Structure formats: C-alpha cells, structure tokens
Amino acid sequence: SGSDDSTLCLWDAKSGAAIGEPLKGHSEEIICVAFSPDGSKIVSGSAGSTLCLWDAKSGAAIREPLKEHTKWIKCVAFSPDGSKIVSQSFYETLVWDVPL
C-alpha cells in the first residue's frame, strides 16, 4: 500500500501483518501501486510526479525514481507479460520498458 508519508508498505494478506520495513524512495504521497504479473516487481507513482520500481522480494529500489511526468501520477500498471509499465497523470500517459 502507498501512504501519504511517502512510504510503500507490504502486507501479508493472510495475517494482515506488515512485511519488513516501509520502502522509501518517493518524496511525496504515494497515489498508486501495482505488482508485476509474476509478482517479482512493484511500481509506485506519487503526488511528486515520480515513478519508482522495486524488487518485491528484497524491497530494494531497482533504479532511481523516474521524473518524466509533469503532474502527479494517478495510475500505474504492468503489461500482461510484465515487459512494460504504463503510467498516467492528468495530461499524459507514458509507456516504459522493464527493467527501466
């Protein structure tokens, strides 16, 4: 889940317990989050117009935050095969190759 304190938290769906420490990489509220189809990666978009890509197992950032959007990111999604990420803000939709 994304938070207004700019962290990303992973949760155990069965117990409801947090998994590990919150992930930090954004500077503003996280608006949207998506898992890759194989569950190995997480992408998050923020009110600070940044996109972060994470390793789902380790929680490590795969790269520095991307800052191509000019407005806050409203939605992120992986393509069905996991090779692309689509991110959408108010006036633009961007498509990224994975890994970025």
> pLDDT digits over 2-19, tens only?
999 999 999 999 999 999
Contact at 8 Å (CB) between 94 and 87?
yes
pLDDT score of 63 more than 90: no
pLDDT score of 40 more than 90: yes
Structural domains for the chain: 7-97 (2.40.10)
- Residues of the chain with pLDDT > 90: what percent? 82
Q: Is 93 helix (H, G, I), strand (E, B) or coil?
A: strand
Sign of CA dihedral 20, 55, 82, 6: positive
Model confidence band, residue 26 (pLDDT cutoffs 50, 70, 90): confident
Q: Which residues share a beta bridge with 27?
A: none
DSSP sequence for 19-53: EEEEEE--SS-EEEEEE-TTSSEEEEEETTS-EEE
